[in-house]
């Protein structure tokens, strides 16, 4: 069956229903489809009869499926042995870099952070021998699940018959063009892109710093070294890995586009991040802006424009009332304690001929339990299967909630039936007494256990607390203090964060107790 004969409603392999043709390119068609076996949306490539690169595309798809990076579009199936060859991928929903730039360029750090994610992804792919060779802003997606996705790795080049003498350098140039576009809102490269072309000087694209205001010299130079292979600074950037390393210290911020160029510019961002969103706090945060929730449960900024006009005394009245209630509670509590000590609590021992025992000297004050933040020594990923993104474990205890460790993205519930759980085990460097844990988790609602023990093997760590369906910031108090050297934050269930994908994430862990 050739592509020209396929119509919406056709089924491939008895399970993939083709719902809508999205695009065609040369001898291949791209479909929005439904996997009826797993009841999820998927993307499907089909090929015209006699298309010379069908085998190349299928082989590239199979190779792409083995890339261990959740930011690469997942390949679920690929077959060229039947009458209708096909490739089945995840259906990615979100905003492309092109969409994000419709209102103007991104803030420089947001632009660099987004391209840094793409560079890290391509570096992983390049290490397996796969390259993109066709990078455009449409290929870089910010998904509705809050993740970066890079589409077309391996498959795009195979479909179009694109080859390069120096593929690693070609991908580095493509990433440099993406950075140029993100910083300026203009496209400096070849290909059909729905962005205005970069302004030219003597036939060459003008430097980003001369196209958009506020571009740091560092990023301006990096675009020249990558997109245009300029021999400045340390010299041309020859690979995605080099570009990723050059942007390794850039914070990863939500890539919300800035206002149009005609609009007033926003205040300069403050250094640091917000624990609520991972975004750089704006001037509104510093001047008293509060946070609320929209109907979807998402955090939103509430600024002075959202509040009633006038300087209402109500907040001060409420604060005063609350303080009075607390004071009365303290006085009543102290009176009850004093009464119980004088009337009953302090006489029982003397009536039996003994003395009343206290923890303090001369019966003065008892020892108070001093609860304080505990200092972890290291962290690592453990699981009863593969340890997802093990190199990112330390991000859970780095004190920066804008960085995170994430599990792989699974294509089914229950970790794709590959494992029973996964988590971060934190080595405290010696025995501690754990009283509580502050967890900053990704969105969607996860089921989490806290386990403690003196051995970091999964069987030796005993559950001491658990919560279901939690996201964002949570403080979990243990019913009884638990002692041990190792503390495990263990996912027993992770949420669906995008169509057809389940993933858990931990932004930060802070433990409290006695060392």
What CATH number should be reported for the domain holding residue 10? Answer: 3.30.200.20
Assigned domain for 351 exists: no
The CA-atom distances, in angstroms, between 343 and each of 67, 339, 348, 355, 361 are 73, 6, 10, 16, 22
| Residue 24 included in any domain | yes
Residue 320 to residues 72, 328, 330, Cα–Cα distance (Å): 54, 12, 16
Q: Are residues 102 and 132 in the same domain?
A: yes
pLDDT at residue number 461? 93
Residues 383 and 502 in one domain: yes
Cβ(470)–Cβ(120) below 8 Å: no
76 and 134, same domain (yes or no): no
The last residue of a domain, from among 215, 246, 277:
246
Return the number of other C-beta atoms located less than 10 Å from residue 187's C-beta.
23
**131 and 37 within one domain:** no
Residue 358 covered by a domain: no
Burial string for 380-417 (b: 16+ CB within 10 Å, else e) reads ebbbeeebbbeebbebbbeeebbbbbbbbbbbeeebee
Q: Let me know the angle formed at the C-alpha of 93 by 242 and 31, rounded to the nearest 5 degrees.
A: 105
Residues 120 and 235 in one domain: yes
In a domain, 254, yes or no: no
Residue 498 falls within a domain, yes or no?
Answer: yes
214 and 182 fall within a common domain: yes
List the structure tokens of 81: 């042995």
Choose one of 75, 90, 105: the last residue of a domain.
Answer: 90
Specify if 230 maps to a domain: yes
Residues 242, 108 within the same domain: yes
Verify that 119 and 205 share a domain, yes or no.
yes
Task: Please say whether the dihedral angle defined by the alpha carbons of residues 121, 122, 128 and 134, taken in this order, is positive or negative.
Answer: positive
CATH assignment at residue 461: 2.60.120.260
CATH of the domain at 127: 1.10.510.10
Does one domain contain both 83 and 115? no
Q: Shortest CA distance to 276 belongs to which of 508, 511, 512, 510?
A: 508
Single residue among 246, 281, 304 that ends a domain in this structure: 246
**Is 514:435 a contact under the CB 8 Å cutoff?**
yes
Residues 51 and 160 in one domain: no
| Residue 268 forms part of a structural domain | no
Answer yes or no: is 108 within a domain. yes
**Residue 108 shares a structural domain with residue 222:** yes
Same domain, 391 and 499: yes
Beta-sheet strands, E only, within 91-218: 94-96, 140-143, 148-150, 200-201, 204-205
Number of domains in the chain: 3
pLDDT in tens, the chain (515 residues): 444 468 899 999 999 999 999 998 878 999 999 999 999 999 999 999 899 999 999 999 999 999 989 999 999 999 999 889 999 999 999 999 999 999 899 999 999 999 999 999 999 999 999 999 999 999 999 987 778 999 999 999 999 999 999 999 999 999 999 999 999 999 999 878 999 999 998 888 999 999 999 999 999 999 999 999 999 889 999 999 999 999 999 988 766 543 333 333 333 333 333 323 333 233 333 333 333 333 233 333 333 333 333 344 444 444 555 555 545 554 445 444 444 444 444 333 333 333 333 344 344 444 455 788 999 999 999 988 888 898 899 999 988 888 999 998 887 777 877 888 999 999 999 999 999 999 999 888 899 999 999 998 888 899 999 998 898 889 999 999 999 999 999 999 999 876 668 889 999 999 999 98
Residue 409's domain comprises: 372-514
**pLDDT for 328:** 53
């Amino acid at each position: 069956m050739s592509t020209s004969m396929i119509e919406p409603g056709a089924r491939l392999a008895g399970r993939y229903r083709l719902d809508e043709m999205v695009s065609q390119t040369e001898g291949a068609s791209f479909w929005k489809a439904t996997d009826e076996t797993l009841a999820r949306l998927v993307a499907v490539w089909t090929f015209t009869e006699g298309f010379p690169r069908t085998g190349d595309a299928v082989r590239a798809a199979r190779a792409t499926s083995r890339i261990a990076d959740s930011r690469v579009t997942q390949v679920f199936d690929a077959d060229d042995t039947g009458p209708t060859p096909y490739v089945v991928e995840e259906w990615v929903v979100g905003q492309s870099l092109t969409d994000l730039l419709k209102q103007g360029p991104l803030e420089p750090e947001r632009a660099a952070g987004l391209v840094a994610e793409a560079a890290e992804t391509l570096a992983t792919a390049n290490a397996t021998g796969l390259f993109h060779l066709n990078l455009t802003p449409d290929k870089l997606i910010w998904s509705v699940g809050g993740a970066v996705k890079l589409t077309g790795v391996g498959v795009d080049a195979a479909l179009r018959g694109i080859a390069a003498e120096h593929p690693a350098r070609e991908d580095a140039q493509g990433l440099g063009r993406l950075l140029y576009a993100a910083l300026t809102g203009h496209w400096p490269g070849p290909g059909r892109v729905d962005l205005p072309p970069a302004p030219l000087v003597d036939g060459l694209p003008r430097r980003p710093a001369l196209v958009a205001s506020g571009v740091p010299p560092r990023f301006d130079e990096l675009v020249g070294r990558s997109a245009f292979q300029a021999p400045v600074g340390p010299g041309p950037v020859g690979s995605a890995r080099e570009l990723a390393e050059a942007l390794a210290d850039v914070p990863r911020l939500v890539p919300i586009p800035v206002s149009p160029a005609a609009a007033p510019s926003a205040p300069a961002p403050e250094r640091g991040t917000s624990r609520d969103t991972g975004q750089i706090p704006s001037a509104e945060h510093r001047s008293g802006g509060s946070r609320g929730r929209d109907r979807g449960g998402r955090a939103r900024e509430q600024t002075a424009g959202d509040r009633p006009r006038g300087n209402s005394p109500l907040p001060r009245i409420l604060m005063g009332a609350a303080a009075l209630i607390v004071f009365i509670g303290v006085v009543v509590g102290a009176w009850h304690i004093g009464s119980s000590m004088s009337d009953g609590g302090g006489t029982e021992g003397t009536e039996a001929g003994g003395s009343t025992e206290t923890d303090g000297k001369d019966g003065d004050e008892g020892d108070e339990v001093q609860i304080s933040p505990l200092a972890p020594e290291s962290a690592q990923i453990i699981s009863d299967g593969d340890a997802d993104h093990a190199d990112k474990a330390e991000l859970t205890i780095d004190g920066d909630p804008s960085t995170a460790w994430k599990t792989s993205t699974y294509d089914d519930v229950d970790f794709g039936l590959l494992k029973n759980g996964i988590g971060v085990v934190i080595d405290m460097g010696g025995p501690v007494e754990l009283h509580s844990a502050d967890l900053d988790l990704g969105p969607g609602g996860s089921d989490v256990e806290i386990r403690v023990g003196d051995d970091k093997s999964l069987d030796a760590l005993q559950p001491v607390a658990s919560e279901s369906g939690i996201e964002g910031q949570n403080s979990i108090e243990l019913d009884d203090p638990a002692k041990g050297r190792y503390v495990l934050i263990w996912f027993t269930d992770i949420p669906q964060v995008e169509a057809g994908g389940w993933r858990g994430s931990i932004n930060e862990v802070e433990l409290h107790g006695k060392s």
